[in-house]
Amino acid sequence: MRRTSAALIIVGLFLGSGCNTDPIWEPSQRHSGAPVTSMGQPDGVDVPDIIMTDASEVDLVEQVLSHRAAYFQSLRALRAYYSEAGHHEKCTWADAELADVRRIKPYRYILSGEVPVDSLSPADSIADADTLYERGLALMKEGGHEVPAMYRKGKMRDALATFRQLIADYPSSDKIDDAAFQCGEIHKEYFKGEEELAVRWYERAFAWDPETPHPARFQAAVVYDLRLHDRDRALELYHAVLDLENSDTSNVNFAVRRIDQLSADPSGAQAFVPPSREDATP
């Protein structure tokens, strides 16, 4: 696609905020005395048209994501410049704009682009990949993994980035299925509303290594069942647990219970019946 000028960054942020066309700030929230301009047609800047011809969804989404990030980073750099140069008034303007930008909810639009293809194969023992995996686990622990009172979102995001780096840098490492499973755990347990990403990562774990030691099929089944309410996919994966992940008795007992409950109600409306104490807790 044709390169666009830096001015298109602003348009990209506006598009990336979702379909809401309301102003992103109320007049009373603007910094007193600060000059303002148009979001889509800023004064003194020639904003080129966005080329739509033959553009795919991926092209357009990538453009929005790129310009959105560049706008935010550029605004932070401008704020830092004003701070270092002693331009206090303009620094407060930049602070006010950054505050407005942070209020925007940045939608992902295409989730599949965030998860690598399912054809990777964990074949090689790579020391650097092993180091990254251990670092990711350490960051999860620092982030309060399995200890809710110690939860630190920033550490969990760092852990997620570390596991993703492992997979991106060492796609043949024998740790990629382990890293994928941990990505699924982070999205499932710590980031509300990211269940679809969680199941994609779990599915990558057992697609990359059908004999992965992690209960990836079981965890994916639970998310499809109790959070996404996809009865058919949940049943498929619960059956896979019985065939391929049957070393954990509590998970097997839970899978059997849910297969019975879901199969008894073809509509998929069967309410969840809590498992007995020996069964797994989702």
pLDDT in tens, 153-168: 999 999 999 999 999 9
Asked if residues 209 and 122 have their Cβ atoms less than 8 Å apart, the reply is yes
Q: Which of 239, 241, 277, 246 is nearest to 260 (CA)?
A: 239
Domain ranges in the chain with CATH number 1.25.40.10: 118-263
Phi, psi (rounded to 5 degrees) for 99: -60, -40
What one-letter code names the amino acid at 133? Answer: Y
Token representation of residue 187: 């999205």
Residues 123-153 have pLDDT tens digits of 999 999 999 999 999 999 999 998 888 899 9
Residues 189-244 have pLDDT tens digits of 999 889 999 999 999 999 999 999 999 999 999 999 999 999 999 999 999 999 99
Question: Tokens 């993703």 belong to which residue?
Answer: 164
Asked if residues 203 and 118 have their Cβ atoms less than 8 Å apart, the reply is yes
**CATH number, span 118-263:** 1.25.40.10
Q: Is 173 helix (H, G, I), strand (E, B) or coil?
A: strand
Asked if residues 253 and 276 have their Cβ atoms less than 8 Å apart, the reply is yes
**Rounded to an integer, what distance in angstroms lies between the CA atom of residue 233 and that of residue 245?**
16
The sign of the CA dihedral 68, 73, 74, 75 is positive
- Does pTM top 0.85 for this prediction? no
